[in-house]
């Protein structure tokens, strides 16, 4: 079962890793020490065989003259861990001399090289570790002597056992120290997360102003804190926008509903002729129509503004779509004595109904605010960066301070004029949302008592932007 605390998990993981590393280092140290002891033992036997070789040059070894070998015996006697056995070159070999308690078994001729020394690691019947060095000595008379020098390695084995015992005794203390150090480091490294918890406890829909301090944080936590702060910033903006939108919506719906209630109360306050009831019902129908348009526009705006509003795009000839919209508004323009002029050719990738909705909103505003006898120009153009559709009209113009706010929901430059034309204040906000869905934008420029131009900027269609392939908000 895994511990619940992250610091405990990290400490346990580091402790296990420390155990593996200590075990690996201990094994490597044991292997290195064993190899070093083997090398020392082999070198000591080499040196001793050199002394034996030198002594053999000075004596004539025969079975009947063993007294002449006292120099060789002096080399071995006094060293309890050494034994020497000499054989002649007869077949089968005959033992010439043996010094020491340990007698190594005679190896076949193939095991003893003509030049150099052969080493043989073995154990006796008691399980004692031994090392035998074998060498052939060539004498001046042409005869050969086999020398087997054996070393008792009990001291080396005792040293290795002592190393293992000391390692096993020290291992728990080392692991405890590693675990304690890992816990302290993990606890200290994760203490910054307490700030995350504190801020998270304070955040609510009523207060999204709290931010995580990023000073003195590790790089990983600093990046996480920046991401969370950016999330709080977006949530705060969204909540404020939703709150403002709710206030604006309540304000917009309050006026027609208040008008309906007021007219109904006044009408019902006393008996009236049927013609007056009819007139009041007609007025109420107009107000209800206004409420219906507000709700419809809000539903459409919520649809196109939602991040998941994925709609299939198709290749559109913008001239044809603008021409269809202009035909729909031809009667309205004729009533206002306004002339509609369309010019230019362009192709875009988008949703047909939404593009027509954006053009119709701009064209409706242009006709509403154009003086009689004026022209409204709809100009299409293709540039290196994008495709544009510009709707320009003459009129009173819009003051510069209003331009940045024109595309906000329910924003009106002239509340009285907008009330008169029954606008909802959502037309330009819908245009901006439609253009955002098409990865484009809408802009406006205006001069007082001159020309006002609203421009839709569409991205250039991709070569593979066929029907149903491209989608909004990818």
pLDDT > 50? residue 467: no
pLDDT of residue 465: 43
pLDDT of residue 286: 80
Q: State the CATH number of the domain containing residue 126.
A: 3.30.450.20
Query: Both tokens of residue 246?
Result: 């709710």
pLDDT of residue 86: 86
DSSP, collapsed to helix, strand or coil, labels residue 462 as coil
For the segment 362-369, the average pLDDT, to the nearest whole number, is: 91
pLDDT of residue 54: 81
Interatomic CA distance for residues 119 and 307, integer angstroms:
81
Residue 466 lies in a domain: no
pLDDT of residue 69: 65
Residue of higher predicted confidence among 235 and 134: 134
Query: Both tokens of residue 85?
Result: 């056995």
Chain centroid to Cα 186, Å, comes to 22
User: 268 and 348: one domain?
Assistant: no
DSSP, collapsed to helix, strand or coil, labels residue 4 as coil
pLDDT of residue 378: 94
Per the prediction, the chain carries an average pLDDT of 81
pLDDT of residue 313: 86
Residue of higher predicted confidence among 3 and 409: 409
pLDDT of residue 110: 41
Residue of higher predicted confidence among 4 and 189: 189
pLDDT > 80? residue 470: no
User: 298 and 371: one domain?
Assistant: no
For the segment 385-400, the average pLDDT, to the nearest whole number, is: 89
User: 265 and 409: one domain?
Assistant: no
Residue 113 lies in a domain: yes
Parallel, antiparallel or unpaired: strands 451-459 and 386-394: antiparallel
Q: How confident is the model at residue 211 (pLDDT cuts 50, 70, 90)?
A: confident
Residue 178 lies in a domain: no
**Bridge partners, 135 (sequence order):** 147
Query: Both tokens of residue 38?
Result: 């083997």
Q: How confident is the model over 23-81, as pLDDT tens digits?
A: 899 999 999 999 999 999 999 999 988 888 887 776 655 544 444 567 777 777 777 78
User: 137 and 83: one domain?
Assistant: yes
pLDDT of residue 326: 92
Show which of 160, 177, 202 is a domain's final residue: 160
User: 147 and 260: one domain?
Assistant: no
Cβ–Cβ < 8 Å for 228, 217: no
pTM of the full structure? 0.51
pLDDT of residue 175: 85
The number of distinct structural domains making up the chain is 3
User: 453 and 335: one domain?
Assistant: yes
Q: How confident is the model at residue 305 (pLDDT cuts 50, 70, 90)?
A: low
Residue 141 lies in a domain: yes
User: 282 and 321: one domain?
Assistant: no
Interatomic CA distance for residues 159 and 222, integer angstroms:
53
pLDDT > 70? residue 329: yes
pLDDT > 80? residue 381: yes
Query: Both tokens of residue 186?
Result: 């993990």
pLDDT of residue 310: 61
Instruction: Map the chain to HEC letters.
Output: CCCCCHHHHHHHHHHHHHHHHHHHHHHHHHHHHHHHHHHHHHHHHHHHHHHHHHHHCCCCCCHHHHHHHHHHHHHHCCCCCEEEEEECCCCCCCEEEEECCCCCCCCCHHHCCCCCCEEEEEECCCCCEEEEEEEEEECCCCCEEEEEEEEECHHHHHHHHHHHHHHHHHHHHHHHHHHHHHHHHHHHHCCCHHHHHHHHHHCECCECCCCCCCCCCCHHHHHHHHHHHHHHHHHHHHHHHHHHHHHHHHHHHHHHHHHHHHHHHHHHCCCCCHHHHHHHHHHHHHHHHHHHHHHHHHHHHHHHHCCCCCCECEEEEHHHHHHHHHHHCHHHHHHCCCEEEEECCCEEEECHHHHHHHHHHHHHHHHHCCCCCCEEEEEEEECCCEEEEEEEEECCCCCHHHHHHCCCCCCCCCHHHHHHCCCCCCHHHHHHHHHHHCCCEEEEEECCCCEEEEEEEEECCCCCCCCCCCECCC
Among 88-102, 169-183, 215-229, top mean pLDDT goes to 169-183
Interatomic CA distance for residues 288 and 423, integer angstroms:
13
For the segment 220-225, the average pLDDT, to the nearest whole number, is: 80
Cβ–Cβ < 8 Å for 435, 457: yes
DSSP, collapsed to helix, strand or coil, labels residue 472 as coil
Q: Using the 8-state DSSP alphabet, how is residue 129 labeled?
A: E
pLDDT of residue 404: 86
User: 93 and 225: one domain?
Assistant: no
In angstroms, how far is the first alpha carbon of the chain from the final one? 43
Show which of 276, 303, 330 is a domain's final residue: 303
pLDDT of residue 319: 94
User: 16 and 46: one domain?
Assistant: yes
Q: What is the CA radius of gyration of the chain?
A: 51
The residues near 7 (Cβ < 8 Å, ≥ 6 apart) are: 183, 186, 187, 190
Domain with 400, as residue range(s), is: 311-459
Show which of 143, 160, 177 is a domain's final residue: 160
pLDDT of residue 68: 53
Cβ–Cβ < 8 Å for 95, 108: no
Residue 125 lies in a domain: yes
User: 11 and 153: one domain?
Assistant: yes
Residue 261 lies in a domain: yes
Residue 379 lies in a domain: yes
Cβ–Cβ < 8 Å for 156, 139: no
Q: How confident is the model at residue 423 (pLDDT cuts 50, 70, 90)?
A: low
Q: State the CATH number of the domain containing residue 351.
A: 3.30.565.10
Q: How confident is the model at residue 453 (pLDDT cuts 50, 70, 90)?
A: very high
User: 272 and 347: one domain?
Assistant: no
Above pLDDT 70, what percent of the chain? 84
pLDDT of residue 472: 43
Residue 149 lies in a domain: yes
pLDDT > 60? residue 87: yes
User: 70 and 39: one domain?
Assistant: yes
Ranking 270-284, 310-324, 410-424, 456-470 by mean pLDDT, the lowest is 410-424
pLDDT of residue 474: 40
Q: How confident is the model at residue 415 (pLDDT cuts 50, 70, 90)?
A: low
């Amino acid at each position: 079962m895994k511990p619940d605390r992250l610091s405990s998990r990290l400490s346990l993981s580091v402790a296990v890793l420390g155990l593996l590393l200590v075990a690996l280092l201990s094994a490597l140290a044991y292997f290195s020490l064993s190899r070093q002891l083997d090398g020392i033992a082999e070198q000591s036997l080499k040196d001793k065989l050199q002394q034996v070789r030198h002594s053999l040059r000075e004596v004539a070894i025969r079975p009947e003259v063993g007294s002449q070998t006292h120099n060789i015996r002096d080399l071995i006697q006094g060293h309890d861990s050494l034994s020497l056995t000499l054989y002649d070159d007869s077949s089968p070999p005959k033992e010439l001399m043996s010094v020491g308690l340990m007698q190594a078994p005679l190896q076949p001729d193939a095991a003893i090289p003509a030049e150099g020394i052969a080493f043989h690691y073995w154990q006796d019947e008691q399980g004692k570790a031994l090392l035998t060095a074998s060498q052939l000595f060539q004498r001046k008379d042409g005869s050969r002597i086999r020398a087997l020098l054996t070393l008792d390695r009990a001291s080396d084995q005792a040293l290795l056992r002592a190393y293992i015992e000391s390692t096993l005794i020290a291992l728990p203390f080392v692991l405890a120290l590693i675990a304690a150090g890992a816990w302290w480091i993990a606890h200290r490294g994760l203490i910054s997360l307490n700030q995350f918890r504190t801020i998270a406890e304070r955040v609510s829909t009523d207060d999204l102003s709290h931010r995580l301090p990023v000073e003195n944080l590790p790089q990983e936590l600093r990046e996480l804190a920046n991401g969370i702060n950016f999330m709080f910033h977006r949530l705060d903006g969204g909540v404020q926008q939703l709150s403002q939108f709710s206030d604006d919506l309540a304000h917009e719906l309050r006026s027609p509903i208040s008008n309906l209630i007021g007219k109904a109360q006044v009408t019902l306050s006393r008996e009236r002729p049927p013609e007056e009831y009819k007139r009041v019902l007609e007025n109420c129908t107009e107000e209800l129509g206004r409420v219906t348009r507000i709700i419809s526009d809000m539903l459409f705006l919520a649809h196109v503004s939602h991040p998941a509003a994925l709609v299939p795009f198709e290749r559109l000839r913008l001239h044809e779509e603008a021409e269809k919209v202009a035909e729909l508004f031809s009667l309205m323009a004729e009533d206002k004595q306004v002339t509609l002029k369309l010019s230019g050719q362009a192709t875009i990738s988008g949703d047909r109904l939404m593009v027509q909705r954006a053009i119709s909103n701009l064209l409706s505003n242009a006709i509403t605010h154009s003086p009689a006898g004026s022209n409204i120009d709809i100009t299409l153009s293709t540039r290196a960066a994008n495709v544009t559709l510009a709707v320009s009209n003459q009129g009173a113009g819009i003051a510069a301070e209003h331009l940045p706010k024109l595309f906000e929901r329910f924003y009106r430059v002239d509340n009285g004029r907008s009330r008169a034309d029954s606008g909802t204040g959502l037309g330009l906000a819908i245009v901006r949302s439609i253009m955002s869905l098409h990865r484009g934008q809408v802009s406006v420029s205006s001069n007082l008592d001159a020309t006002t131009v609203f421009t839709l900027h569409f991205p250039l269609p991709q070569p593979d932007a066929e029907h149903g392939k491209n989608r909004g908000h990818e």
